Amino acid sequence: MDPTAASAMPQAPARPVRRIVIAGGGTAGWMVAACLSKTMGRLLDIQLVESDEIGTVGVGEATIPPLQIFHQLLELDEREFMAATSATFKLGIQFENWRNGNDRYIHSFGTTGKDHWTAGFQHFWLKGRERGLARDYGDYSLELRAAQDSRFAHLPRGGLSYAYHFDATRYAAFLRTFSESHGVRRIEGKIRAVNLDAASGHIRSLTLDSSASIDGDLFIDCTGFRALLIGEALKVPYEDWSHWLPCDSALAVQTASVGEAVPYTRSIAHASGWQWRIPLQHRVGNGLVYCSRHMSDDEARALLLANVQGEVLTTPRQLKFKPGQRREVWRHNCVAIGLASGFIEPLESTSIHLIQRGLIRLMQMFPTAGISAADIAEYNQQAQTEIEHIRDFVVLHYHLTQRDDSAFWRECRAMNVPASLRHRLALFGETGRVFRGPNELFAENSWIQVMLGQGLMPQQHHPVADLMGDGELTDFLESIRGTINRTVSQLPPHERYVQQYCAAPAR
């Protein structure tokens, strides 16, 4: 969006923001409620409006490591949270059949190898590969090797980077209890009308189906894909990214566990999309993300049910979505967080992270003394830049493939990707270099693992790697690999560690 657009809008006279109305519950609403009540609850009156009759999307059960920062902010006990949500640990994502239809690689958390001040580890690995001295790139990542061996433990000084798989419905309930203990008031009811101030365009109140009126100074739109406030009431347009992200449908189903929970998410590519498999303590979350132009809903349902393991516990639930973002996620006195602000797709587990980033950004720019046009413009600019970086990373998986076995994959290979992504691919392909811009979510190691995993091998490496002789380079690489193998061998099995650390109570 144009950073000056907000300043051109009619602005109500600045007044202190004290009354917060969160429209919608679910993961987004209760994450916002928990954060605001914990950090600023003494200064604010916080109400959350939701209806038991309206279901939540709640299929996102895989997360990424920054969620630990959010939990530290709330001072949550990790054991208590994990037991309450039947959580397991996650060290990365295993991608299957994405490159050529018969392959697999892991995008793990953490780092790989050891960087030199002049060049990243990948340059030394490339030189070692050229000389026949290097093993698989993943052999030099602790998190990746632990995931392959299905081992886990907390290590000193954060030595193992991890996230979680958890039951999203139980997570929302857990945060609701936390929020209400910090003063948040939940109001049951459906939103019937969003009432605007004619002069300023700001939201004045919400009218519920009971005819109750909920007034506020700042409204947080967590109404999901419906976007009742930011979209329907304030008419903020939606930017469609379907030409880059072809999948627009998903089916989700739960199955009984048939084996030990592994510490990684599985992402299995099919002819017109991909399937997720997420192990929890009490069940497995499954889903199929697909492109409706290439696969009918009935075909998708049959494909998903034919590729799950264990007893099917729920009826497959269907979701329709349009990848993209709101042109503005903060307009007037309304901030959209979660699906109301935009949606990429489930790949790489970024939805909950974008909720977290949206609310942390709101905390940093909280309009205590009154809503500022400059804050609105800055918030929107930061949100746009951040989601575009994530968009590029997700598009990478679809576009950088050798698959040509279906019209879907041929379209993905041929798509005209964003210029920002073309630059990253050209830079790595020609020089082996990667970069990380300010506030980008995915670090260099993530880009390297996925680009290598999808088949992009750099044409050259940094010349500093040529300064090592065969003996020195072998010792360097083997020292890293040996340390990782020794550490992994001492870790307990993931399933056993979870049961000892945070076993969920029987229900």
Catalytic residues: 90
Yes or no: say if 268 and 96 are a contact pair by the CB < 8 Å rule: yes
Query: Exposed, middle or buried by CB within 10 Å (0-12, 13-18, 19+), for 274?
Result: buried
Q: Which of 441, 230, 226, 203 is nearest to 326 (CA)?
A: 230
Buried b (16+ CB within 10 A) or exposed e, 434-443: beeeeebbbe
Yes or no: say if 153 and 492 are a contact pair by the CB < 8 Å rule: yes
Q: How far is CA 468 from CA 138, 462, 483, in A?
A: 21, 12, 21
CA-atom Rg of the chain in angstroms: 24
* Amino acid letter, 157: R
Q: Which token pair is 286?
A: 């499954």
Buried b (16+ CB within 10 A) or exposed e, 473-487: beebbeebbeebeeb
Residues 6+ apart with CB under 8 A from 10: 199, 200, 201
At residue 387's C-alpha, the angle toward residues 382 and 388, to 5°, is: 100
For the chain, what percentages of helix, strand and coil (3-state, to nearest 5) are there? Answer: 40, 20, 40
> Hey, which bits of 97-202 come out as E strands?
104-108, 163-165, 185-188, 191-196
